Structure 1
Amino acid sequence: MGAALLALGGCAVAGASAARAEDPVSLSEQGQVTDRVGALGGREAAVAAALDRLYERRRIQLFVAYVRDFSGRSPQGWADATAQRNGLGRDDLLLAVATGDRRYGYSADTDSGFTEDQLAEVAREAVEPALRAHDWAGAAIGAADGYDAVLAGRPVTAPPLTPGPADPGGGSGSAPGWAGDLVLPVVAVGAAGALAAYAYSRRRRGAGRDGGRTTTGWGGQPETATAVPLLQLDARARALLVETDDAVRTSAEELGFAAAEFGDEAVAPFTRAVEFAEGELTAAFRLRQQLDDAYPEDDAARRRMLDEIVARCSEANRRLDAEAADFDRLRDLGRNAPRALAAAQERARDLAGRTATAAATLTALRGRYADSASAPVAGHAERAADRLAFAGEQLDGARAAVGAGETGRAAVHVRAAEGAVDQAAISVDAVERRAQELAEAAGKLPGALAETDADLADARGLLAAAAAGTPAGDLGGRIARAEAVAAAVRQEVAAGRYDPLDALRRVEEADGALDEALAGAREQESGRRRAAALLDRALLTARSAVGAAADYVTTARGAVGSEARTRLAEARRHLERAQALAEPDPPAALAEAQRADGLARQAQELAERDVGEYRDPYGGPAGPGGGWGGTG
């Protein structure tokens, strides 16, 4: 794992206090406990004694990390990434506890000697009872004694409980308990939502990016050993796609902050690294799409494709990690906090005005169009205002820290503000883009209806000729479909409130079906002109669908799984190809645009499903973390 920037407040949700988000951390060099929230409350000696006992008896080092949250990662993913970052080995274990999120994860090497059942037993019998009672020290003591017990063949028992503060480091004397919303790092619970499908293969460190692979695979990259069951390899590939996609997205966000501060030339090496990683990820997603399509591969081909997905994701992360140290030196928020603070303040001021305009724009859209027209951005103005309020709090904290000479604390506040401002910008940009797309669709709709009428006239003539013996195929059904769509759209427009993008898409699809049936009866050049006319509208609806899906996945990516991300990546690829083919081959470009539109809408539906199934303890979707680098 490359150096990651400590981040604050990746994604707050309504009704929850602002929480600091922490990417996988560097463990303390002063011992085996890293306590960033003051969870132990004077019981450090008792915890150290338990950890020492475990080492003396079993030569196993248990490391324990207490943080506020896991920055939008799954508990297991955060623990594994932290273990990888700190170079923990075969005889090392890590217990990670997020006191604010009320979640935990553990990480063990595949060759540690512990079985999955043993790890789960310690978690269930010794760790969870302590966490439910807010006995933060007891969780570490119970884990240490529990690991000793399972290796000795003794039953695991819970430690004596000594309840502590409900939310250490949270600035509040109380917080909701763990009893009802504890997120367990085991697949059976299912509270890990979209990530649960692959939590098993990531539970034990070494079963991830590098574990169990040789160096004889595709393109010189690691190949997964054939001993790994195919279903487990598939789960691993899905997990790595999600984690690599998150790494690329967060690195791109960090790159944007750095470019604004230092200029494009200064960040050119990092830009190339992100572009390389994006290329590898796009290729990996394309392979995943091929695996998901309706044409099944045999086991050997499936394994080769999964190996390539793992290898490409690993190479993307390797390239990001290789630049992480230099990137962190460039930004060095501790040293550059005043300048970064000024840049974040300026951007927040600009967004405040745009957020107010976005709210007015949404009000106008709701009055002019059907509810479905503005539904993808319905809560965006409120979300942007919330993010800016959080950014304001963090900027105040940064100014106070700079004034006190506390550069490290200032850096944390600045990064939190940057992340919140970036999220606000995504929401505001989406409202502005949606308004423009709806206006453009409304302007194109009359022409689309007129062209459909003309095609209907041609189609009716061809159908009449069929009575004289000319084959017409299913032309009659296509005519009826186009007539019904055109009539319904005109009725919706006349009623006053309608959805221009949806109406244009339906007209385009119906007219496209007619055009396909008429293609044989038209000259080739006429067909190219018709395709070019349809393409203009198809590109608009495809761009709108891809943009909406991309915004949704970005803002809720902590909950979105590999299937939605795969469809989105493929939608982007088809949209880019449609734009490239628009001039030389309009018919092919039209097919690509229509494919992009369909895939983007699938991505949106799948992402919404994932978010619906995965809610954080406060009831909101998990959000992204911050920092440059790969997944660990």
Structure 2
Amino acid sequence: ACAIRRRYEEGVPEEAAALAGVVGRCEEAERRLTSAAESLRALRGLDRDPAAALASAETRFRELTARTAESDTALLADSVTGYVELAKDSLVTATVHLNQTHQATASGRPEEAAGHLRAAETAIARADVLVTAVARLRATLTEAARLIPPSLTGAEAELAPLRDGTAYEGETYAQLLHADAVLSAVRRATTSGQPYDPLGVLRRIVHATAPLATGRSGVLPVAALLVARESVAAADDYVTVHREAVGAAPRVLLAEARLTDDLPRADDLAREARDLAERDVRLRGHGS
């Protein structure tokens, strides 16, 4: 479905009918979910007795409050700037709805209590995504920093045969020159004594060597996986947190990023998805 939509947006005319079929299937899925809404509510039991769900939500709320208080985005990338503050805002929203759930339950208004409880659960889930993203990025940066030295060594192992056997012309030679320039810049950045972004540095190594890699180095695929995995996760987090404001285009790109086996391409697609999602949020507001 994602590939069909992408080709349609790129102007492939024969995809129009197929796209209509995709839309039809999505509409049918929405109708089925809507028809099952009452059954799902009954299964959760919120409308009848939200006590158990309320206790669970309050437990999660307390855990997230502690995690949020311990979170710190200092020295992290811009991708999580403001996340702790957004998490705190979500927990404030959750507090309001949890209190209203208690009040509605005590007054014998189970349907109203269920509505407030669902709103509280949504706010708690949003805070969880934000705080988890901060912790994950911190761990990823640590791992990226660890991988930079062996990745540089692995990159040299990949490029060494090409330096001896590549004619001084053509696309391969141009790619080799580019890779050498990137690796030199990376070495300068990592030995200058100045702060640098380990994930960004690792990304530069991965993308510069990807067109020339032959599998001689086992560490470069590991580095590529780390870079792509964080990009996809970061884009997914952003879309989840701002889901009401994010349109179809970022979601399509993100779905493609998840599906492709080409890790540098997955990284590119996910980063483009994040950029488009941020644009949507700027145009439409934050959503929730």
TM-score scaled by length of structure 2 = 0.92
Deviation at 1:528, TM superposition (A): 4.3
Rg comparison, structure with higher value: 1
Q: Report the residue type matching 1:546 in the other structure.
A: V
Query: Does 431-440 or 451-460 show the bigger shift?
Result: 451-460
Deviation at 1:559, TM superposition (A): 1.6
- Percent of pairs identical after alignment? 39
Q: Report the residue type matching 1:289 in the other structure.
A: R
Structure 1 segments, 4+ long, off by >6 Å, are: none
In structure 2, C-alpha distance between the alignment counterparts of 1:406 and 1:325, rounded to whole Å: 18
In structure 1, C-alpha distance between the alignment counterparts of 2:122 and 2:244, rounded to whole Å: 15
Q: Which residue of 2 aligns with 1:473?
A: 170
Q: 1:595 aligns with which of 265, 278, 282?
A: 265
Q: Which residue of 1 aligns with 2:145?
A: 442
Residues 1:605 and 2:261 are matched in the alignment: no
Q: Which residue of 2 aligns with 1:452?
A: 155
In structure 2, C-alpha distance between the alignment counterparts of 1:289 and 1:537, rounded to whole Å: 28
Q: Which residue of 2 aligns with 1:408?
A: 111
Q: Which residue of 1 aligns with 2:287?
A: 622
Deviation per CA, 1:526-576, whole angstroms, max 9, x where unpaired? Answer: x4454x5432211111111111111111111222111111111111112xx
Q: 1:542 aligns with which of 228, 232, 240?
A: 228
3-state SS in 2 of match to 1:434? helix
Q: Structure 2 unaligned runs (5+)?
A: none
In structure 1, C-alpha distance between the alignment counterparts of 2:114 and 2:38, rounded to whole Å: 17
Deviation per CA, 1:33-90, whole angstroms, max 9, x where unpaired? Answer: xxxxxxxxxxxxxxxxxxxxxxxxxxxxxxxxxxxxxxxxxxxxxxxxxxxxxxxxxx
Q: 2:69 aligns with which of 352, 356, 364?
A: 356
> What aligned pairs does 1:108-257 form with structure 2 within 5 A after superposition?
none
In structure 2, C-alpha distance between the alignment counterparts of 1:412 and 1:322, rounded to whole Å: 18
Residues 1:569 and 2:255 are matched in the alignment: yes
Deviation per CA, 1:376-433, whole angstroms, max 9, x where unpaired? Answer: 1111111111111221122122222222333233222212211110110010111111
Q: 1:394 aligns with which of 80, 97, 108?
A: 97
Contact 1:481 1:510 in 2 (8 A): yes
Contact 1:289 1:570 in 2 (8 A): no
In structure 1, C-alpha distance between the alignment counterparts of 2:222 and 2:170, rounded to whole Å: 28
In structure 2, C-alpha distance between the alignment counterparts of 1:458 and 1:322, rounded to whole Å: 62
In structure 2, C-alpha distance between the alignment counterparts of 1:396 and 1:496, rounded to whole Å: 49
Q: Which residue of 2 aligns with 1:486?
A: 183
Residues 1:500 and 2:198 are matched in the alignment: yes
Q: Structure 1 unaligned runs (5+)?
A: 1-283, 367-372, 516-526, 579-591, 616-620, 624-632
In structure 2, C-alpha distance between the alignment counterparts of 1:606 and 1:622, rounded to whole Å: 15
Q: Which residue of 2 aligns with 1:513?
A: 211
Deviation at 1:447, TM superposition (A): 0.7
Q: 1:432 aligns with which of 131, 135, 146?
A: 135
TM-score scaled by length of structure 1 = 0.43
In structure 1, C-alpha distance between the alignment counterparts of 2:215 and 2:211, rounded to whole Å: 15
Contact 2:4 2:15 in 1 (8 A): no
Contact 2:144 2:198 in 1 (8 A): yes
In structure 1, C-alpha distance between the alignment counterparts of 2:158 and 2:259, rounded to whole Å: 31
Q: Which residue of 2 aligns with 1:232?
A: none
In structure 2, C-alpha distance between the alignment counterparts of 1:289 and 1:440, rounded to whole Å: 34
Cα 1:407–1:318, aligned 2, differ >3 Å: closer, same or farther? closer
In structure 1, C-alpha distance between the alignment counterparts of 2:281 and 2:116, rounded to whole Å: 28
3-state SS in 2 of match to 1:446? helix
Q: Which residue of 2 aligns with 1:313?
A: 26
Contact 1:560 1:610 in 2 (8 A): yes
> What aligned pairs does 1:294-373 form with structure 2 within 5 A after superposition?
296-298=11-13, 301-359=14-72, 362-363=73-74, 366=75, 373=76
Cα 1:558–1:534, aligned 2, differ >3 Å: closer, same or farther? same
Contact 2:154 2:220 in 1 (8 A): no
Q: Report the residue type matching 1:492 in the other structure.
A: A
Q: Report the residue type matching 2:220 in the other structure.
A: L
In structure 1, C-alpha distance between the alignment counterparts of 2:239 and 2:265, rounded to whole Å: 19
Q: Report the residue type matching 1:622 in the other structure.
A: G
Q: 1:423 aligns with which of 122, 126, 149?
A: 126
In structure 1, C-alpha distance between the alignment counterparts of 2:205 and 2:284, rounded to whole Å: 36
Contact 1:384 1:423 in 2 (8 A): yes
Give the helix-richer structure, 1 or 2: 2
Q: Which residue of 1 aligns with 2:9?
A: 292
RMSD: 1.9
Give the strand-richer structure, 1 or 2: 1
